[in-house]
Amino acid sequence: MTDAASRLDSIHQGISDAARLARRLPEAVTLVAVSKTRSAAEIEQLIAAGQRDFGESRVQEADAKWPALVERYPDVRLHAIGRLQSNKAEDAVRLFGTIHSLDRSSLLRALVQAGAKVGRLPTVYVQVNIGDEQQKGGVAMADLPGFLDQVRASPLPLAGLMAIPPLGPEPSPYFALLAKLARRHKLDGLSIGMSGDYRAAVMLGATVVRVGSALFE
Ligand SMILES: *Cc1c(COP(=O)(O)O)cnc(C)c1O
């Protein structure tokens, strides 16, 4: 096995182990490989090993890297996971089938407009500022119900909630809180968990984990 294939294998194993502990099905968890800052050659090793879902933080970087790869591997699925400017909405909709960082009305409007123009509506996750951090992206918890109403009134398919917990020793309470919010709002999708905490996220209900460094290093 190549290094990339064995790293992929070990993450899949970690997901399965965590899912089994929580009496969940491993197939209910999608692994998104976060390929920001990684080269096309590094990405292709993972594609060769069978990985198909990839996440990028910046539209410009993704736009430079992915169109050529998508041409060669048309079955890859791209996920936008970083803060998104409304003026990049059209590029984003061309590239990404799923957007994990929808957090404000102006961006919702821009994505709906771009989707109509491009002829493709992205699936969205609403990002929640789960630690109420000043500088973080994500809709404030107090504003979540109203914002979800807006998204549900739009043509964009709403998959669920996404969050990046505050840096610190223990992400689990934040994962549990996001899971509770998702249940309260009858949403199935939960985009939580990165290299350091994806097992905990799976135990607490993640349906998508976004793993970068553990897959590439
Ligand atoms: C970079 C990034 C990740 C992946 O982080 P790793 O710790 O490298 O696994 C996941 N989610 C978001 C939003 C990111 O920006």
What is the per-residue pLDDT across 146-165, written as a single tens digit (0 to 9) for each? 999 999 999 999 999 999 99
- Which of 35, 56, 81, 84 for mutating ligand 1's site (highest number of atoms within 8 Å of CB)? 81
pLDDT at 1: 72
* Residue 149 within any structural domain of the chain: yes
pLDDT at 62: 98
- Which CA distances in Å does 193 have to 164, 165, 206? 8, 9, 7
Per residue in 9-35, pLDDT (tens digit) is: 999 999 999 999 999 999 999 999 999
pLDDT at 2: 78
* Residue 102 within any structural domain of the chain: yes
Cα 73 from Cα 47, distance rounded (Å): 8
Task: Indicate which residue's Cα is closest to atom 6 of ligand 1.
Answer: 212
| This model's pTM is above 0.95 | yes
Cα 118 from Cα 124, distance rounded (Å): 16
Domains: count for the chain: 1
CA of 194 to the centre of ligand 1 (A): 6
CA of 57 to the centre of ligand 1 (A): 8
Please count the other Cβ atoms lying within 10 Å of the Cβ belonging to residue 134.
6
Task: Indicate which residue's Cα is closest to atom 12 of ligand 1.
Answer: 81
Per residue in 111-148, pLDDT (tens digit) is: 999 999 999 999 999 999 999 999 899 999 999 999 99
Cα 89 from Cα 111, distance rounded (Å): 5
CA of 35 to the centre of ligand 1 (A): 9
pLDDT at 129: 98
* pLDDT > 80? residue 201: yes
Per residue in 35-91, pLDDT (tens digit) is: 999 999 999 999 999 999 999 999 999 999 999 999 999 999 999 999 999 999 999
pLDDT at 36: 97
Nearest of 98, 56, 210 to residue 202 by alpha carbon: 210
Tokens of 145: 């119900």
* Residue 23 within any structural domain of the chain: no
Cα 91 from Cα 54, distance rounded (Å): 17
Give the CATH number, domain containing residue 44. Answer: 3.20.20.10
> Relative to the CA of 34, which ligand 1 atom is closest?
4
* Residue 101 within any structural domain of the chain: yes
* Residue 22 within any structural domain of the chain: no
Per residue in 61-75, pLDDT (tens digit) is: 999 999 999 999 999
* pLDDT: which is higher, 8 or 169: 8
* Residue 188 within any structural domain of the chain: yes
* Residue 93 within any structural domain of the chain: yes
- Which of 210, 213, 215, 217 for mutating ligand 1's site (highest number of atoms within 8 Å of CB)? 210
Q: What's the mean pLDDT in 183-196?
A: 98
- Lining residues, ligand 1, CB within 6 Å: 34, 36, 57, 81-82, 164, 194-196, 210-214
Cα 35 from Cα 62, distance rounded (Å): 9
- Which of 34, 36, 37, 129 for mutating ligand 1's site (highest number of atoms within 8 Å of CB)? 34
Which residues form the domain of 109? 3-17+29-216
